[in-house]
Structure 1
């Protein structure tokens, strides 16, 4: 399944990329699965997307959690929590 990935703010800076189109292996069905798949790339991917790290996720521009199912052609975004000031 092919999906679009988007990365924002400090996540984008850590990964040195703002977006990517990726073909996922079979068995990846949720945003949490996508996160684990990307962590497996190691290096900055493992660090920026680490479990326990404060991270927001969106599915087709809607705030979502790790249990949200993904579909072919969808957009999954990762970004840090936003604070006001």
Structure 2
């Protein structure tokens, strides 16, 4: 399955990419799986996407959680929580 990944704010700054297209291994089927797969790249990836780190996720521009199932061609985004005032 091929998906589009988008990285925003501090995640983008940490990994040095704003977006990329990836072909996923067959056993990756949720956004949580993608996050773990990317963490396995090591270095900045493991820090930016660390399991305990507060991180928001979206699939096709809809906020979701780690259990969201992926579909071929979907867009997955990772970004820190946003605060405002």
* Runs ≥4 residues deviating over 6 A: none
Name the counterpart of 1:3: 3
State how many pairs are aligned.
85
- Where do 5+ consecutive residues of structure 1 fail to align? none
| TM-score between both structures, scaled by the size of structure 2 | 0.99
| Structure 2 CA distance for aligned equivalents of residues 7 and 66 of structure 1 | 16
- Where do 5+ consecutive residues of structure 2 fail to align? none
| TM-score between both structures, scaled by the size of structure 1 | 0.99
SS in 1 for 2:81: coil
Shift in Å, 1:36: 0.4
**RMSD of the alignment, in Å?**
0.4
